Amino acid sequence: KQRTVALSSCEDEYMAFPASVEDTIWLRQLISEIEPNLVKIPTKVFCDNQGTIHMAQNNVIGPKSKHIDIKHNFLRNHVQDRSISGIYLPTEDMLADVLTKPLGKIKFEPLIKGLCLVT
């Protein structure tokens, strides 16, 4: 749960993104102990907010984002050291949404097929 209030959806995603990045970095470290050659390129972390990706890739400190806590800049550090790469993926293509959000049949069926949960 976030303890900082976000003033926009972009900030909200930017402040939530580090949780997935922490898991990604942990997995990268585990994999590098087993097979170091597998982690030579950045791991793709998908996000459906282009502003969040822009903030992570650039040192963007503006009047609307200057109050973001320094701990959230952890994300930017990992993008800059090329351990992760933020990739835009439209919301409708986010396969995990089928497991985390209530969806109607029209949105539900393609996501279930994308996860190969039906034949």
Give me the residue spans of the domains in the chain: 9-88, 91-119
Mean of the pLDDT values across residues 63-87?
A: 71
CA pair distance 26, 91, nearest whole angstrom: 25
What is the DSSP track for 38-93?
A: GGSSPEEEEES-HHHHHHHHTT---TTTTTS-GGGGHHHHHHHTTSEEEEE--GGG
Is residue 118 helix, strand or coil?
Answer: coil
Average pLDDT, the chain: 75
20-42 average pLDDT score:
86
Q: What is the mean pLDDT of residues 36-54?
A: 83
The pLDDT of residue 118: 64
pLDDT at 2: 47
What are the phi and psi torsion angles at 9 (to 5°)? -65, -30
pLDDT above 50 for 110: yes
Q: Which tokens sit at 21?
A: 């990045």
